[in-house]
Amino acid sequence: MSQWKQIQQLEIKYLEQVDYLYDDNFPMDIRQVLSNWIESQDWDTAANHESMATVLLNNLLSQLDRQCSQEQNFLQRHNLKIINQQLQLKYKASPLLMASVISTCLREERRIISTASIQEQGPLEKSLQN
């Protein structure tokens, strides 16, 4: 199951933690629309290699363009168009920053999923692990 699908199955108290990860720096709409592609890229490495970060940013923008042109829903299309413009303004001159933001979000998501799965275990399972 993709990381993003696991996130969406969390209890509300964990979802509220996920809420804090997403804002204009990395809008949740992108995380959802391009979830599989995002999870299959190496953002940790890109956060330290400008040429790789630039390629990933350009790929992300062209995928957003494609999604936008295929989207039938007016509101969704409008939002994707605005996000595309905002990301270009924000990251065209600093693609490393975008890679670093996405890398941090994905790592924090994994931390939240892991915390949730530990808390879900009963006392017996926890003691068997220790």
Q: What does the binding site for a copy of itself look like in residue numbers (CB under 8 A)? A: 8, 15, 19, 22-23, 28-29, 32, 74-75, 78-79, 81-82
Nearer to a copy of itself, 82 or 118 (CB): 82
CB of 45 to a copy of itself, least distance (A): 28
CA dist., res. 130 & res. 124, Å (int): 10
CB of 30 to a copy of itself, least distance (A): 11
CB of 64 to a copy of itself, least distance (A): 15
Closest by alpha carbon to 5, among 38, 54, 50? Answer: 38
Nearer to a copy of itself, 56 or 68 (CB): 68
Q: How many CA atoms lie within 13 A of 120 on its CB side?
A: 11
DSSP 2: -
CA dist., res. 126 & res. 123, Å (int): 5
Structure token digits, residue 11: 């209890």
Nearer to a copy of itself, 54 or 76 (CB): 76
Nearer to a copy of itself, 22 or 49 (CB): 22
The residue type at 130: N
